[in-house]
Amino acid sequence: MDTSQLLKGVLDLAVLAVLDRGDGYGYEVVRGLRAAGLNEVGDASVYGTLRRLYNAGLLTSYVVPSEEGPHRKYYSLNPPGRDRLREMAKTWRAFAETMEGLVAAA
């Protein structure tokens, strides 16, 4: 089964969960997702998700200057982002339990 289609539906939740562990810049979030086993996640998808979550008011951002390369824009969860993460995690658990019941006999 192609997991990239499944990932599209849960990328917001996955990105929020990574940022719940600590602030991060775009590529750091990508690495966090891949380290968790989401190897098919694309850089552009994550950057787009970060921008969308930020524009929705779920993330804050700040820039950390670098002398060795471009400045890095870090993202962090804010209180509305944490609320959304909890809400989405609850929905995910209920959905996963339902799916497990459906495919258990397969």
Q: Is residue 59 within 8 Å of 77, Cβ to Cβ?
A: yes
Over the stretch 53-93, which tens digit does the pLDDT of each residue have?
Answer: 999 999 999 999 988 888 999 999 999 999 999 999 999 99
Residue 2 above 80 pLDDT? Answer: no
Per-residue pLDDT at 85: 98
Per-residue pLDDT at 1: 67
**By CB neighbour count within 10 A (0-12 exposed, 13-18 middle, 19+ buried), where does 2 fall?**
exposed
Over the stretch 7-47, which tens digit does the pLDDT of each residue have?
Answer: 888 999 999 999 999 999 999 999 999 999 999 999 999 99
